Chain A
Amino acid sequence: MVSPAANVVIEARNLSKVYRDFWGRQKVRALRALDLTVEKGEIFGLLGPNGSGKSTTIKILLGLLFPTGGEALIFGQEATQVSKNDRIGYLPEESYLYRFLNAFETLDFYGRLFNMPAGERRDRSKQLIETVGLSAAARRPLKEYSKGMTRRIGLAQALINDPDLILLDEPTSGLDPIGTKDMKNMIVGLKEQGKTVVLCSHLLADVQDVCDRIAILHQGELKELGRVDALLRKRDLTQIQSTQLSPEVEKEVCDLIRARGGQVLSTENPTSTLEDLFLSIVQESEAKPGKRAMPDETNRE
């Protein structure tokens, strides 16, 4: 039996951070008494508006900032311990990479930092470049990359050491819908491999799609923490979806609900998301190049 503590990957205890100026005067209280636990194998989302303390939390967890109070533990080690980084992958908000290196050189460099032998670095770099779809541009310097390509090589460097914990700061920022979908698929794939993912994002839909649990921060305080499905479920509302429903049957159903004391708030045909529409058009275009995409007419009014 695995003890609960062994399952805990990240633990923040009463974590707080105050930014001070050179003379030690308090400028900003970025984080207040944050208590947080992330368990092995889950996708955890940190949400909050700008200045809510998300990035500060991530930076403290990575040892880039030191907490003013409390404690941050990763794999049971202090966040300032260098050795914890052996099992961590980090994709920063902007892909802060050396723009004069190409994709292979970038991954080779970061592989060296994990003390990987040359052969292993070569194989792993090749595999990751294929995974993130940059094989055609692998020898071009990063300064020639688009933002989406840079995000993808950024993700590849975060995975170079096959980490157990991946911290992603705005992972879908700058990606087109296809790239976003690929990124989300990749995040889910990482979870399926048993890895723990912590991400913070402004794009709430992305978080909703992939996260198991989320924490919502505001003004440095934890406002909400729990499973996504539990937090979003509206227990006093029921949604019925059906096909082949004639207006008469629809009226009968509504009457029955009212007769039983319920209240019908609305009946309507649900719309697809623009993302779904975009993806279906691109998929059809790829399947039949040169033809104008014709989405399903039956679903159109």
Chain B
Amino acid sequence: MIIDYIKLKNYRQYRDQTVNLGAGEKGKNIVIIEGRNGAGKTNILNAITWCLYGQEFHISKSEGLPIVNTSALNDLGVNEKTTVEVEIQLISNDKNKRYKIKRTVWIQKSEKDDAEQISDRYLSNQSDGTKLEVFVQIGKDIKGEFRDPAHIVQRLLPEKINEYFLFDGERLDNYFKEESGGIIKEAVFKISQLDLLDRMIDHLNKTKDEFLRSSEGLTPEIKELEEKKTALLDSLEKMKNELGKQSNAKKEAKEHRNEIDKKLRESPRNIKKLAEEREGLEQDLLKLESELEEERKNRSDYLIEMSPLILTHEAINQSWRIISKQEEAGKIPPPIAKNFLERLLEKGVCICGTDISKKNEYRKNVELFLQSCKDIGNISGEIIELCGYLRGLIDESSDFRKKQIMYGKRVEDLEEREKKNNERLKRIEEEIKGCDVKEIKRLEEKLEEYNNEISNVDQKIGEIKVKIDNMKDERLVQIDRDLNKELKKEEKFQELRRILSFCNSVLDIANKIKTEIMGEIREEIEEKTKKQFFDIIWKKVTYKEVKIDDNYNFLVLDQTGRKALGTLSAGERESLALSFMAALNTVSGFDVPIVIDTPLARIDTEERQDIARSLPEYFKDTQVVILVTGAEYTPAVRKSLSKNVCKEYKIKFEEYKKGSEAKVVSYEK
């Protein structure tokens, strides 16, 4: 495929320009467009990419000039509009098909004299506000107004590989820098056209992730639940066994109890009770004896204590009466105590102060009074006290009978109880006479033991039954319910596992295919690059091998096998890059024209001629548009290329007051 022409209207330096690039006779596949730096060479390249993809890949973003030609903009009044248009016509190699691709953008001049891109809502058909039109002519039929013109462009000249046919020669060296494996790999990948496969892998990965996410919470707990169920069933089994054991124990205990019961029926009833009563009575009797002894002692003590009072009661009573009478008569105590009168006589002074120390009438009277006094008067206090005690004794003895009866009653009561107990004991002894009380008691105790055992076993049986019921009704049912739920999850989980397994298999295969295809493409590119490189370079003996390793790094090995990429001259590197680009171009399978911007800029003069000489060899049968400066397109280079050049242009750049304008004119002009 070749570019037949490029038509530029108001596009950057170009006000209205049509450049015919159509091929000439066979073998003449090169078009030269020569221009100074800044004249508009690279914008030819940009015009092509803008037209095809809506983007100017080779323009510096910092470049402030608008896309619209400044002269055209200046011709506009404020708010006036104009269009920028680039039209490219491609012709297939068999010349049967023509593709006319045209992109238009609407520009309005702002009040600040700036160009503002506006979109025409009726005409714009691209998201960037531009209009893209594609017309396809097959024979005489022209077809246009495609619903998705961009898609047709992508099919003809895929954007992703545009850098391998529309490229800046100065950037070729990037392929050979360190860590360039990523760039090479990307190139190989793009050329391999594995997008579909890649999209499929991407889609599969996303799908897989979605399935994985949806499988969260689906992880079955079946094993755990089954283990729980088994454990529960084991427990149930153990419980049932225990229930059986307890039932047997109950049965045995009942048998023993019945046996004992039978034996006891042959013996007097309640023998155990009688024996116990006997024991109780015997203990009571011991206690009674002790109490009786104590009461008897109390009674005898009381009688002994009271005997002096009662038996001498007459003397006590008589003495008390005598003293009492004397008290009543006022003799006791006497009005004047005898010893008091004795002390007065001894002192010789009467109580009234009269001297009675000498024998006189007063002393005589006192002595006569003393003689009438009795000695008893001196102990009158003691006698009165005695009287009080005697009264107390009389009073105490007056309660004798009451207390004596009380003590007697106590003793009698206890004796009565003792008698009754003895009688009851005697009757019991008669009742259990001839029985082996000990054995019967033992049997009765045993009977009680068995009854208790049966009761305990019944309780245990009840508990076990409740546990079993709980296990069956609640836990087992719950586990079964959970298990069913988990089994349903398991079905879903298994389905997901199958899907994930399928995804993984497909991913493996896709990745393998991708790797294999890329490997094959890499090998093919490596082979073609190597062939081209060695066909062209003149130091065929110095270098032995050109390889693209597994990491997609370029390797140039010298005759000794050493890495020699770093020692390549600029011209050799350019040769290698062009060989690589040609290989990419060939391997891509796309029939596309090549546009190279300044391919010889970094090359020495001598090498430039060599490159120029071999340049046609790289892209045989492919249209190559070379954008060069005058410095590159030396007469020698021109001479070297002359037999392959079909068209030669120069860019004439003119600056006016209103702006600048470039014109592509034939080289001869």
Q: Are A and B interaction partners?
A: no
Binding site for B on A (CB under 8 A): none
